[in-house]
Chain A
Amino acid sequence: MTKRDKILLLSSILLACCVIVTAFFAIKTQPEYNTGNLGLLPLISATLITIISISSVLLVLFKIKKMHRGKAEGMLTGDYYRRYEVIRDAIANSQLSGNQKKEIREDLLDLLISAQRAGKDADLVTGNPELFAMEILHSFARPSRFAILSLFDGMTWFLTFIVGVNTLLWLENINQSYFSIANDAGMVILIFIITFILVPLTKKLTSTKNPWMFMLPLAFGVTYVVLLEVSRLYFYSFDSVRWLLDGQLNLIPNPVVLVCYICAFAILVLSKKLYRNKLLR
């Protein structure tokens, strides 16, 4: 396992731990917990979150193992492998299709293994690996087209998160109607930032030589929580801060909206597929 892989694994473990601790902390702060009237559902919900978090770590571990399973990748050594990792990650994080990514990976391996066997210096072969990866991506489409495809992803994930969080909150309060569940304004803004800014930014930054960028989601999460708490302490008198901290938004107020979300999700996934086929190749 390379340093890059270890940092990626560490970031996923820390993120999972934060999520699990938060889930159980939320249960402990419920009034029913102290009176001993806590139902089974909050526990099931927290357990579900724990299972998903642990699964995500296992998924990262599996992906790392899978990446190294290839015999060809094992043939690259030292600087060649480090540079290959940067290019491979940039391509993997791109909007290209699975087949296109696989094809590029195989081409790169053939090129780099041949150059390595010829005794060439890795730096002379790849130059700046980040620029190399960018040039490969530009050979498929202009950056603006990739940005449009990222926007499709952002919208799809936003809808998924909203419905997912709503469902989770409803499971914790199953006696309430699904359509009366309200989300914290701060939570909705966090979801918006994660889906439209943090995920694309993390993908971009982790495609560089600096593996510590994998810690960005965790660092952002901690900073966001700290900022909210600091705001509560010092700026609570402001209306906008109060709304951010205590405001509630009901984003699925009735079945029609839920159906619209589900339809929009399907349309977005399909549109992205069609748009990608049209734009890339």
Chain B
Amino acid sequence: MNNETQIVKGILEGCLLKIIGEQEIYGYMAVELLNAAGFAVNEATVYPILSRLQNKGFLRIEKRPSPYGPDRKYYFLTPEGEDSLKGFEKSWSKINNIVSHIMEGDRNDQA
């Protein structure tokens, strides 16, 4: 797996934690929300990330009847998930600042 994919997956994990922290969602809805936000992701990318977050204990689930098919799984943040989200926000802010700084410097050099 290349670095770019790993980075995107890490970012997606953080974004999913943020989305789940704000509203109750189910798997398919998570894909739709991420796509609406501008990511080009499919179910095959998002579901394993949700599963990983659940296995790490960052998400708890609640099963509710679905209008079709089996019961639908809704995701909620656990206290550990909230901590992880805070950690991600902190790291992201730091990385974002560093990258922005370098990119701006890069542009200045080019100019």
Contacts and interface: CB of A to CB of B under 8 A. Distances in A.
B28 A109 contact: no
Interface string A100-124: 0001101111111111010000001
A132 interface: yes
A136 B71 CA distance: 19
B42 interface: yes
A127 B72 contact: no
Contacts of A104: 51
A124 B45 CA distance: 11
A110 B43 contact: no
Nearest to A140: B55
A124 to B, nearest CB: 6
A107 B47 contact: yes
B69 A127 contact: no
Contact of B28 (A70, A115, A280): A115
Nearest to B28: A114
A56 interface: no
Contact of A136 (B31, B47, B69): B47
A34 interface: no
A227 interface: no
B44 A131 contact: yes
Most central of A104, A113, A280 by chain B CB within 10 Å: A113
Given A117-B68, A139-B48, A111 B28 contact: yes
B44 A113 contact: no
B67 to A, nearest CB: 10
A1 to B, nearest CB: 22
B21 interface: no
Contacts of A109: 69-70
A126 B51 contact: no
Contact of B68 (A113, A128, A135): A113
A110 B42 contact: no
Contacts of A270: none
Interface in B7-52: 26-28, 31, 42-45, 47-49, 51-52
Nearest to B57: A281
A106 B70 CA distance: 6
B60 interface: no
A75 interface: yes
A106 B73 contact: yes
B43 A136 contact: no
Given A75-B69, A124-B42, A127-B42, A110 B51 contact: no
B110 interface: no
B66 interface: yes
A-B pairs with the 6 shortest C-beta distances? Answer: A114-B28, A135-B48, A139-B52, A139-B51, A72-B69, A132-B44
Interface of B: 26-28, 31, 42-45, 47-49, 51-52, 55, 66, 68-73
Given A111-B47, A132-B44, 20 more contacts: A75-B68, A106-B71, A109-B69, A110-B66, A110-B69, A110-B70, A110-B72, A111-B27, A111-B28, A111-B43, A113-B69, A115-B28, A115-B43, A125-B42, A125-B44, A126-B43, A127-B44, A127-B45, A135-B45, A136-B51
16 contacts: A70-B70, A72-B68, A75-B69, A107-B27, A107-B47, A110-B66, A110-B70, A125-B43, A126-B44, A127-B44, A127-B45, A128-B44, A131-B44, A132-B47, A139-B48, A280-B55
